[in-house]
Amino acid sequence: MPEPDLVIGLRERAQQLFAQACAAADPARALANALAEAPLPRPDPGGIYRIVAVGKAAIPMAEYLLGRLGRAAFKAVVVTNAENGRPLRGARVYVAGHPVPDDRGARAAAAVEALLTPAVAADRVIALISGGGSALLPAPVAGLTLADKAEVNQILLAGGFDITEMNLVRQQLSRLKGGGLLRIASPAPVTAHILSDVIGDDLRVIASGPTVAPIGDRKAARDLLHARGAWQSLPEAARLVLAQEDVALAPLPPARNILIGSNRKSLDAVVAAEGPQAVVVNDCLTGDVADAAAKVIEAARRESHGRPACLVFGGETTVTLRGDGRGGRNQELALRIAMAMPDLGRSWVFLSGGTDGRDGPTDAAGGLVDAATPGRIRAAGGDPGLLLARNDSHAALGLAGDLLKTGPTGTNVADVQILLFA
């Protein structure tokens, strides 16, 4: 049986380490480090800075940058989600829907286009990009409505598509994604500072790659949707757009894309904080959440009697919805671990959290569980197995008192998992 005092201490330490992971992805600090190595390019005479910040970390990134401009002339549009939105002196701030696009995001996208369309060669466009930008900046192509795009998003989210697959499809349906920002901003040179929420840091995928080439073309998107059985579920307007033949476009204007933060840097910060007893086991914990849970449990079996007392994982899993419950990938992963972890002969806790402070359409960042979690759920009148089958991990962990709630963190570098042993 786990010893309560040991478990309490482990739970507190897990939360402290998660805070370290989020702090390592602090957007202002990451941007400051990047600008120390590569200073901002200056506009030519008569030109101005045109600044676009989009994503969950848009406010702190823009705030730091604007503080560095001194007396330089600029115009700035900032787009973020409701949890992170606040006024910012010198910028027009738009709060938009996430993870499903809404009218507010469409207005924000129009403002971005209005800022960039008049750009001239003497200007310098600075793009500050972080996770969440795909949903926050919807700009449907001709023939598609915002409602169509929102429906496509819902289908992809519910269908267990990973972030690369989702953004392959979304790029074909948007004017700004897949390098669209570069085309609108031309002929002004573009520099993008990018905070990655994507495992592997593929710049084409982060916020659907507004300043890089697309992941693929319409045919690739069609093939994926047919292979996954989702084609017929799409709204007719989206199918009509995707069914069109690909048209050869002029090469994308060049851009300078600078990666300033990532999930791996946050994992390394956890290891540095915990010391020699910590190890990164897997920095690509992706795919179906059930498969991810099996990988964590196998690592726990393998390492529970060895030297490492802190196993660290990072990634972004997917959940296929089969029920009508509420939750997110981190909450479901934590619940699965709590239900399936074997007797390890020592006390343990497992934390899985989104570094943005939000997991799915809930008020939690994830879950923090231990061996007694299933018993607490039952004692509170719930059936953990039934709740899991309904994808109702939020209710299950709520009954156990095991929801991880941090509030908005102002950053977003995907998910971090921490398994601690006493």
Q: What's the CATH code of the domain at 406?
A: 3.40.1480.10
Taking only the tens place, the pLDDT of each residue in 271-314 is 999 999 999 999 999 999 999 999 999 999 998 777 779 999 99
Together in a domain, 242 and 280 = no
Taking only the tens place, the pLDDT of each residue in 32-82 is 999 999 999 999 999 999 999 999 999 999 999 999 999 999 999 999 999
Checking if the pLDDT of 221 tops 60, the result is: yes
Together in a domain, 179 and 218 = yes
Together in a domain, 101 and 9 = no
Together in a domain, 255 and 205 = yes
Together in a domain, 355 and 406 = yes
Q: Which two tokens stand for residue 259?
A: 């990666």
Together in a domain, 97 and 244 = yes
Question: How far, in Å, CA of 196 to CA of 203, rounded?
Answer: 8
pLDDT confidence band for 196 (50 / 70 / 90): very high
Residue pair 58/127 in contact (Cβ under 8 Å)? The answer is no
pLDDT given at position 410: 87
Together in a domain, 303 and 196 = no
Model-level pTM?
0.84
Q: Which residue has the higher pLDDT, 321 or 120?
A: 120
Closest to 119 measured CA to CA, from 78, 77, 63: 77
Domain that holds residue 223: 27-261
Closest to 363 measured CA to CA, from 333, 319, 398, 338: 398
Residue partners of 186: CB distance under 8 A and separation at least 6: 119, 253
Domain boundary residue, one of 261, 290, 309: 261
Checking if the pLDDT of 1 tops 60, the result is: no
Tell me the H-state helices in 228-328: 236-243, 263-274, 289-303
Together in a domain, 338 and 399 = yes
Together in a domain, 170 and 307 = no
Residue pair 421/304 in contact (Cβ under 8 Å)? The answer is yes
SS3 34: helix
Q: Which two tokens stand for residue 157?
A: 């989210």
pLDDT given at position 305: 77
Q: How many CA atoms lie within 13 A of 391 on its CB side?
A: 18
Domain boundary residue, one of 216, 246, 261: 261
Taking only the tens place, the pLDDT of each residue in 131-180 is 999 999 999 999 999 999 999 999 998 898 988 999 999 999 999 999 99
Together in a domain, 255 and 358 = no
Average pLDDT across the chain, whole number: 95
Together in a domain, 312 and 406 = yes
CATH of the domain at 46: 3.40.50.10180
The number of distinct structural domains making up the chain is 2
Domain boundary residue, one of 261, 287, 308: 261
pLDDT confidence band for 2 (50 / 70 / 90): low
Question: How far, in Å, CA of 344 to CA of 90, rounded?
Answer: 56
Together in a domain, 35 and 20 = no
DSSP 340-386: H----SS-EEEEEEETTS--SSSS-SEEEEETTHHHHHHHTT--HHH
Q: What angle do CA 396, 100, 154 make, to 5 degrees?
A: 75
Question: How far, in Å, CA of 296 to CA of 334, rounded?
Answer: 10
